[in-house]
């Protein structure tokens, strides 16, 4: 079951919750935008679910610094490194994205990295933000030192899901926005299946014997691991694995943040927290490459041509990353954001803890 909440009401509620958790009004508004973007576009695990399950609790207990002093570590015409001071990754990455956009307008391409940060929510938000400014963008994050999946063929969880997103403007329709993890699925979806008491599809998890596993509990019990995008080595798992390494190289050593595969992990194998996370945003201005007036039209034609192809199944038209999410967003704006009952209950509990008023629509799950 789901409940629906008007977008603006959810945004106001998320902003108030983040303020009550210690953020300034400006930072709370920026963080709420990222949260609501995820919900509006159908990525609830990275939206209100994370608000109630990750951001507010960690802001309140100090694991995330509610009053960070964002510091510039290095700054050049086409790049910068920011120290997030253990603050909310949503806020520091919005600032990094805007800085990369500004620099790209001057130099054509820019890269801004963030260190000493935390969970940054939906990667697609930052890529989409750049497309709204008419730029192409790539955004990515590692999971700090936290190990979520072992290297391909390995047994020790060393790498994160290491999500990345890419976006390109295409006026006249939905922009191209690819939002993906390097693993077959984000671990939040495995947690959601566990919470709902259902099995996960074959291919999400593999047991210690290399056989497929569908019980989500096996992942959290350490009896199965999430697979890399592509699956096994025979079916292309090296591609997802390689992407995860690339993200850790850029968001770890390049950004100056932590990363997963360190020698101490092999020595003691202890679970490590997802702190000192690194993010990277790359922005590209088509105008700097002589395509300022033509890129958008070309992108629109390319995407529309793909979508016009005759589908194998008439019930499943050909589409592209960003288009289905745009349709979900349109429905959210028209009818309200759809939130699963368990997320609605989390929000009600959070509101009670913060002593703030929850949207009236959430009350339906308590009846």
Task: Find the CATH number of the domain harbouring 298.
Answer: 3.30.1370.60
Mean pLDDT of the chain, nearest integer: 95
Q: Let me know if residue 366 belongs to a domain.
A: yes
Phi, psi at 249, each rounded to 5°: -65, -40
What was the pLDDT predicted at 14?
98
Q: Which residue has the higher pLDDT, 45 or 329?
A: 329
Within 13 Å, how many C-alpha atoms sit on residue 332's CB side? Answer: 24
Q: Which residue has the tokens 């704006």?
A: 333
Residues 359 and 318 in one domain: no
**Does residue 331 sit within a domain?**
no
With b for 16 or more beta-carbon neighbours within 10 A and e for fewer, the 113-144 pattern comes to bbbbbbbbbbbbbbbbbbbebbbbbbbbbbbb
Whether residue 66 is predicted with pLDDT greater than 70 in this model: the reply is: yes
Instruction: Tell me, yes or no, whether 13 and 39 share the same domain.
Output: yes
Whether residue 91 is contained in a domain is answered as yes
CATH code of the domain containing 361? 1.10.1530.10
pLDDT of 272 reads 81
Q: Helix 25-40 crosses helix 7-20 at what angle (to 10 degrees)?
A: 140
In this prediction, residue 274 carries a pLDDT of 85
Work out the number of other CB atoms within 10 angstroms of the CB of residue 305: 10
Residues 107 and 176 in one domain: yes
Q: Is 93 exposed, middle or buried (0-12, 13-18, 19+ CB in 10 A)?
A: buried
Would you say residue 1 has pLDDT above 80?
Answer: no
| 38 within domain boundaries | yes
Question: Does 179 share its domain with 207?
Answer: no
The pair of three-digit structure tokens given for residue 305, joined into one six-digit string:
């041509």
Average pLDDT of the segment spanning 181-201: 91
The domain boundary, picked from 203, 226, 249, lies at: 226
More confident residue, 202 or 272: 202
Over residues 268-297, the mean pLDDT reads 92
Residue 103 has φ and ψ, to the nearest 5°, of -70, -40
Q: Is 90 exceeded by the pLDDT of residue 41?
A: yes
- Residue 366 pLDDT: 63
Of all residues in the chain, what percent are helix, strand and coil, respectively (each to 5)?
45, 20, 35
Q: Which residues pair with 149 in a beta bridge?
A: 159
3-state secondary structure of 32: helix
Q: What is the pLDDT of residue 268?
A: 76
Residues 271 and 218 in one domain: no
Q: What is the pLDDT of residues 122-176, one digit of tens each?
A: 999 999 999 999 999 999 999 999 999 999 999 999 999 999 999 999 999 999 9
Indicate whether 275 and 319 sit together in one domain.
yes
Query: Could you give the 3-state DSSP secondary structure of residue 338?
Result: strand
Contact between 128 and 167 under an 8 Å Cβ cutoff? The reply is yes
Q: Among 85, 147, 93, which Cα is nearest to 119's?
A: 93
The total of structural domains in the chain comes to 3
Residues contacting residue 87 through CB under 8 Å, at least 6 positions apart: 27, 64, 65, 66, 67, 68, 70, 117, 118
Residue whose entry in the numeric block shows the structure tokens 């009818």: 335
User: Torsions phi, psi of 30, nearest 5?
Assistant: -65, -45
Q: Strand 79-83 relative to strand 149-150: parallel, antiparallel, unpaired?
A: unpaired
Same domain, 270 and 302: yes
Q: Tell whether the model's pLDDT for residue 30 goes beyond 80.
A: yes
Are residues 237 and 204 part of one domain? no
Would you say residue 27 lies in a domain?
Answer: yes
Residues 173 and 90 in one domain: yes
Which residue do the tokens 């050049």 mark? 76
Of 23, 21, 18, 20, the residue nearest 48 (C-alpha)? 18
> Residue 228 and residue 244: Cα distance in Å, rounded?
9
pLDDT > 90: percent of the chain: 89
Q: Is residue 249 part of a domain?
A: yes
Angle in degrees, 0-180, between the axes of helices 341-354 and 7-20, rounded to the nearest 10: 40
Domain with 352 in it: 1-67+336-367
Structural domain includes residue 213? yes
Q: Are residues 24 and 73 in the same domain?
A: no
The model's pTM: 0.95
Task: Look up tokens 């936290």; give the residue.
Answer: 146
pLDDT the model gives residue 195? 85
pLDDT at 181 over 90: yes
The answer to whether residue 267 scores a pLDDT higher than 90 is: no
Q: What percent of the chain shows pLDDT beyond 70?
A: 99
Residue 279, Cβ density class (10 Å: 0-12 exposed, 13-18 middle, ≥19 buried): buried
CB 113 within 8 A of CB 142: no
Per-residue model confidence (pLDDT) at position 367:
57
Are residue 163 and residue 282 in the same domain, yes or no?
yes
Whether 106 maps to a domain, the answer reads yes
Nearest-5° angle of CA 180, CA 64, CA 219? Answer: 45
**170 & 144 share domain:** yes
pLDDT (tens digit, 9 = 90+) per residue, 219-255?
999 999 999 999 999 999 999 999 999 999 999 999 9
């Amino acid at each position: 079951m789901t409940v629906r909440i008007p977008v603006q009401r959810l945004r106001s509620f998320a902003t108030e919750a983040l303020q009550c958790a210690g953020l300034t009004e400006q930072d709370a508004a920026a963080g709420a935008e990222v949260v609501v973007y995820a919900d509006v576009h159908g990525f609830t695990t990275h939206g209100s679910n994370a608000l109630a399950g990750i951001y507010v609790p960690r802001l309140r207990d100090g694991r995330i610094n509610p009053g960070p002093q964002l510091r510039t570590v290095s700054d050049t015409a086409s790049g910068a490194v920011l120290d997030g001071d253990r603050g909310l990754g949503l806020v520091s990455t919005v600032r990094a994205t805007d800085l990369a956009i500004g620099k790209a307008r001057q130099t054509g391409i820019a890269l801004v990295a963030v260190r000493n940060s935390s969970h940054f929510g939906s990667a697609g938000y930052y890529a989409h933000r750049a497309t709204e400014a008419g730029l192409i963008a790539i955004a990515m994050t590692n999971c700090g030192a936290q190990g979520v999946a072992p290297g391909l063929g390995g047994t020790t969880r060393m790498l994160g899901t290491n999500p990345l997103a890419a976006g390109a403007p295409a006026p006249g329709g939905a922009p191209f926005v690819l939002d993906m993890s390097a693993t077959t699925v984000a671990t939040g979806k495995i947690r959601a299946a566990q919470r709902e008491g259902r099995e996960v599809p074959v291919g999400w998890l593999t047991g210690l014997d290399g056989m497929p596993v569908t019980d989500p509990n096996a992942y959290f019990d350490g009896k199965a691991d999430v697979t890399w995008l592509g699956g096994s080595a025979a079916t292309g798992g090296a591609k997802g694995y390689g992407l995860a390494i690339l993200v850790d190289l850029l968001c770890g050593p390049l950004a100056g943040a932590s990363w997963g595969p360190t020698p101490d992990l092999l020595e003691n194998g202890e679970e490590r927290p997802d702190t000192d996370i690194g993010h990277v945003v790359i922005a590209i201005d088509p105008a700097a490459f002589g395509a300022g007036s033509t890129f958008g039209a070309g992108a629109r034609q390319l995407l529309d041509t793909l979508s016009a192809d005759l589908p194998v199944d008439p019930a499943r038209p050909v589409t592209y990353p960003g288009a289905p999410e745009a349709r979900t967003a349109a429905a959210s704006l028209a009818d309200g954001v759809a939130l699963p009952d368990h997320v609605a209950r989390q929000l009600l509990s959070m509101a009670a803890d913060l002593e703030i008023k929850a949207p009236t629509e959430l009350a339906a799950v308590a009846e």
